[in-house]
Structures are given as C-alpha cells and as structure tokens.
Amino acid sequence: MRQYIINGLLLNVEIEYKPRNKKIYIKAKKPNIVIIRTPIKLADAKINDYLYDSYEFIKKVLSREEIIKNNTLHLFGEEYEIKEVDDFNSYIECDGEFIIIHKTTDTNIEKLVYNYYIECLRHFVNRYLEECKNSLNINKAIKVNYKNVKTYFGLCTPKRNTICFAAKLAKYEPILIKSVIYHELCHFYFLNHQQGFYKLLENVFSNYKYYQHKLRSIKYNDKY
C-alpha cells in the first residue's frame, strides 16, 4: 500500500491489477483508504493525477457520517433485539422476544443471519406459493431460489420457470412478501412492467401499488 497526499489529505492507496477490467475503478473507504482497480500498469505520476481528478469523490465518501446500526433484526415485520451467545455450534433461534445468535469463534455471523433469513423465507414461500399460483391459473412447476442480494426483492426468469427471492425479504411483514410473490408470478404472463402486467396484478392482489410503495419505503437499520 502506497501513501499519497492530495490537497493536504493523506491517502493510503492500494493498487489492484485487473487485466480483464475495461476501465479503471476507484473505491474509497474509511480510514482514508483508496483502492484503484486498473486493467493496465499505472506509473506513479498517473496514479497521482487520477487521485487529484477523483479528489472530490474521495473526500465526499470519507466525510460521510458512519451510520450506527441498531442491535436488532426484523423478521416478518416484527422487530427483535439480538442476543449473541458463545456456543459450540452456530445457529439462530427466535424465542418470541429475542433473536438469539449462537456462535463459535469462527462463525461468520452475517452469513449465518442471511442463511437463517433464507430458511424462514423458504418456509413462508412453500406455504403460500401454490395458493398464489392457483389465483393466476399457473399449473407448471416453478423452481424457487434464494440469494443474499441487495438490488432486488424478486427476480423471475419465465423461460427457465424460475423465481429468485432476496433473503432480505424475510424482514418484511407477510402481506408485503405476498405482494412480491404475486409480482413475480405475473411475469409468467407479461415479461415487462406494462399496463397489462399491473392490471393483472391488481386483479389478483388488491391495492398492489399501495403495498409496493410501502415495501420500497421501509428502511430497516438492523445490525445485519
């Protein structure tokens, strides 16, 4: 890691050589660390110029106030305080008041939490999927996958008869999860979000737009 001073700001810069990249990418994180991913070898002067050109971006990222997460988890719309317990095995349980995280010294807690979310969400979807399919007269078998993603709640691939749900969906109340299930199933009739798509959705799921807006407006500040 090299050090550069840009406009009086001391930066610890790490260069990652990525030949497959098509362009140079820059990432900044606290405390004063900058990562440059580049497909070509950069001379020291070029790195210096690139840091000067990116100074405003770097300064903005490094000056952001750190968001303090609550010691909570949400499950199906309910908020639970977290208890972390040192144990011989890694698993999570909910006793109705707390979500208890049993962990070992090697436990990746974030991964454990999202696997727990996936299991909870899988049970929910298995319980209601056939009911939702019947509402839309869908008789084909549908494969359901689950992923730890942040960019979407659900993703449908009709050609493969596959739906993927985001693990984070387990945080939300059941009516909101159902709205996503119906949304993805409607893609078996309409690939895009055209007028007919939303008309079908409203027919099988009343007030869909209200629930969609509510889903997207909720911002949980959970620890994981």
Domain boundary residue, one of 62, 82, 98: 62
Question: So what's the pLDDT on residue 20?
Answer: 87
Residues 50 and 83 occupy one common structural domain:
no
Per-residue pLDDT of the chain (224 residues; tens, 9 = 90+): 899 999 999 999 999 999 988 899 999 998 899 999 999 989 999 999 999 999 999 999 998 877 789 999 999 999 999 999 999 999 999 999 999 999 999 999 999 999 999 999 999 999 999 999 999 999 999 999 999 999 999 999 999 999 999 999 999 999 999 999 999 999 999 999 999 999 999 999 999 999 999 999 999 999 99
Structure tokens that stand for 171 in this block: 């945080």
Residues 33 and 82 occupy one common structural domain:
no
Domain boundary residue, one of 11, 39, 62: 62
Residues 134 and 176 occupy one common structural domain:
yes
Domain boundary residue, one of 41, 62, 83: 62
Residues 41 and 92 occupy one common structural domain:
no
Q: How far lies 72's CA from each of 3, 53, 143, 173, in Å?
A: 38, 40, 32, 16
- How far is residue 129's CA from residue 163's CA, in Å, rounded to a whole number? 11
Residues 101 and 131 occupy one common structural domain:
yes
Q: How far lies 81's CA from each of 15, 25, 84, 85, 113, in Å?
A: 40, 38, 10, 13, 14
Residues 92 and 183 occupy one common structural domain:
yes
Residues 97 and 146 occupy one common structural domain:
yes
- How far is residue 88's CA from residue 52's CA, in Å, rounded to a whole number? 51
DSSP H or E run through 129: helix 109-135
Residues 153 and 98 occupy one common structural domain:
yes
Q: What is this structure's pTM?
A: 0.74
Question: So what's the pLDDT on residue 12?
Answer: 95
Residues 223 and 163 occupy one common structural domain:
yes
Q: Which residues of 162-197 are buried (b: 16+ CB within 10 A; e: fewer)?
A: ebbbbbbbbbbbeebbbbbbbbbbbbbebeeeeeeb
Give the total number of structural domains in the chain: 2
Q: Can you give the CATH number for the domain in which 130 is found?
A: 3.30.2010.10
Residues 16 and 124 occupy one common structural domain:
no
Residues 137 and 206 occupy one common structural domain:
yes
Q: Which domain holds residue 108?
A: 71-224
Question: So what's the pLDDT on residue 97?
Answer: 94
Parallel, antiparallel or unpaired: strands 9-17 and 25-29? unpaired
Which has the closest alpha carbon to 161: 145, 141, 176, 179? 141
Residues 119 and 158 occupy one common structural domain:
yes
